[in-house]
Amino acid sequence: MNVPMSAVERSNVFYDLLAKFAPAGVPTWVLALTAAGVGVGILITFVSVLAMFSVWMERKVSGHIQCRYGPMYVGGWHGWAQSLADGIKLLSKEDLIPLGADRPLFMLAPAIVLASIFGALTAMPLTPSVYFADIDLGLFFILAMSSMTTIGVVMAGWASASKWSLYGAMREAAQVVAYEIPLGLALLVPLLVVGTLNLREASELQSGWYGMHWLVFQNPFVFPALLLFFTAALAETKRAPFDLPEAESELVAGFMTEYSGIRWSFFFMEEYAAMFLMSVVAAIFFLGGFESPVTHLAREQFGADSPIYQATAGFVLLLKAMFGIFLMMWLRWTLPRVRIDQVMTMGYKYLTPLALVCVLGAGVWEAIF
């Protein structure tokens, strides 16, 4: 069976590795499927570890902001294993499905939520040459896939047959419809400057100036666009002060009210994965992606193909993304939750026009200079 595998062969470091070590005569589709399996395994592990670390970090950050310690005992050093213990607890808990719930939809909803965010994460490069999928429309793909979580959330809210859940789901739908526009418009500003939707290429194009040729420094309208993007991303990932779909003080847990055990934790994992994804997008399209003075130095010293450079670049991106997550946590424990009408006002009356102004200004600036 000879399938044209140009797309696969072009893309993937896992595929290349397998092709190098596999015995001769193994058909390409087997290699491609194995590579995909390895990629999925790595991605799932990565997201689980990331979610566990982020939950621990969130509890530490919130604790210290409130002059507490947060988890301190599990695992010894500052409760590092707390999330692990919680995960085991959630796995062993009973998986409750309410009697009045729409069973198939109820069970499908967390899967859709998680699958869409996994799909979006496949377009994320790990290092300049290690990535799951090198998509030319990477950013478009990410936005499309991450918006699909809304379908899962609305499905969860509707299938739960609970008023709280339905309210939460409707709020999520309204919020995402309102904030998808400024999110996309704010991302148009760096796109106007860099001229590619491919995440890897966008990062590559920002090298120069000793690794400080970041998009925020290239055009005066990119920085306000970053603020707009960050705000819209907060709403998009259902983080406080825009966590109206959950709104634990008014809606119990919003669309997650009727969920328990590991299904509930899927929603949680999605939230942290979405935060990470948005932070990565912000890092790549605003804050230089892999580029930093350290990355520049590593490339100068060891060459672009050396594993040291690759590891440095990946670490720099991870650091930038973690900083974004930290900022989101900091904001969460600073600002109180806003009302739904305030959310709508902010989305439609403030973020959208301001994003349009930024797009216009960036376009004019690019045309002149």
Residues that bind other proteins (CB under 8 A): 61, 63-69, 72, 227, 330-331, 333-335, 350, 354
Nearest to other proteins of 45, 334 (CB atom): 334
Query: Coil, strand or helix: which one is 12?
Result: coil
CB of 334 to other proteins, least distance (A): 4
Alpha-carbon distance of 107 to 102, in angstroms, equals 9
Closer of 210 and 330 to other proteins (Cβ): 330
Which one, 306 or 342, has the nearer CB to other proteins? 342
CB of 65 to other proteins, least distance (A): 5
User: Given the complex with other proteins, which of 171 and 332 has the nearer CB atom?
Assistant: 332
Angle CA 359–221–338, to nearest 5? 80
Q: Which is nearer to other proteins, 69 or 210 (CB)?
A: 69
Q: How far is the CB of 69 from other proteins (least distance, A)?
A: 5
Kindly give, in sequence order, each residue whose CB lies less than 8 Å from that of residue 121, ignoring residues fewer than 6 positions away: 43, 47, 132, 273, 276, 277
Instruction: Give the integer Cα–Cα distance in Å for 13 and 9.
Output: 9
Provide CB contacts within 8 A for 319, sequence distance 6+: none
Closer of 123 and 354 to other proteins (Cβ): 354
Distance CA 69, CA 62 (A): 9
Match 């973020």 to its residue by tokens.
351
130 burial level (CB within 10 Å; 0-12, 13-18, 19+):
middle
> Minimum distance between the CB of residue 335 and other proteins, rounded to whole angstroms?
6
Shortest distance, CB of residue 322 to other proteins, whole angstroms? 15
CA–CA gap between residue 30 and residue 42 (Å, rounded): 18
Q: Which is nearer to other proteins, 63 or 98 (CB)?
A: 63
Q: Taking the complex as a whole, how short is the minimal distance between the CB of residue 32 and other proteins, in angstroms?
A: 47
CB-based contacts of 147-151 (< 8 A; 24+ apart in sequence): 147/176, 147/180, 148/112, 148/116, 148/119, 149/112, 149/113, 149/116, 149/117, 149/270, 149/274, 150/176, 151/112, 151/116
Closest CB 86 distance from other proteins, rounded Å: 20
